[in-house]
Amino acid sequence: MFATPAYAQAAGAASQGSTAGAIVSLAPLALIFVVFYFLMIRPQQKRMKAIQDAVAAVKKGDTVVTAGGLIGKITRVEEREVEIELGTNVRVRAIKSTLAEVRPLGAKPAND
């Protein structure tokens, strides 16, 4: 409660030194965040944007893979839904956002 002027000055000097120490101790954390951003977060954002652009540009005849793993050909495109032909006379409707991959018309199959 009663602090002498000498004690108050020493406490002020110690707090200034700890500020510089805090900055130095936070620098490695900032560096780790920057590395994670460029190695993990940014590539993932680019990949998601590419998938969203491909799904938005899907057209009749494209081969698609749904998030559930079904592979089929687009037969009809609406604003939010697509109709996918999975086999001969087997058609299902799916929400566009559930498409995981869009393969352009005439793309080479994965097993060839």
- Is residue 77 within 8 A of residue 58, CB to CB? The reply is yes
pLDDT digits (tens, 9 = 90+) for 12-42: 554 555 777 888 888 889 999 999 898 999 9
The answer as to whether 2 is a domain residue is no
The answer as to whether 44 is a domain residue is no
E strand map for 1-112: 63-66, 71-77, 81-87, 90-95, 99-103
Phi, psi (degrees; rounded to nearest 5) at 68? -85, -5
Which is higher by pLDDT, 88 or 107? Answer: 88
The answer as to whether 26 is a domain residue is no
- Does the pLDDT of residue 93 top 80, yes or no? yes
Q: What's the rounded mean pLDDT across residues 4-19? A: 56
Q: Which helix (H) or strand (E) holds 36?
A: helix 5-36
Per the structure block, which two tokens stand in for 84? 């996918």
What pLDDT score does 105 carry? 67
What pLDDT score does 103 carry? 85
Range of the domain at 87: 57-103
What pLDDT score does 96 carry? 93
Kindly report the CATH number assigned to the domain that includes residue 93.
2.30.30.100
The answer as to whether 81 is a domain residue is yes
The answer as to whether 62 is a domain residue is yes
Structural domain total, the chain: 1
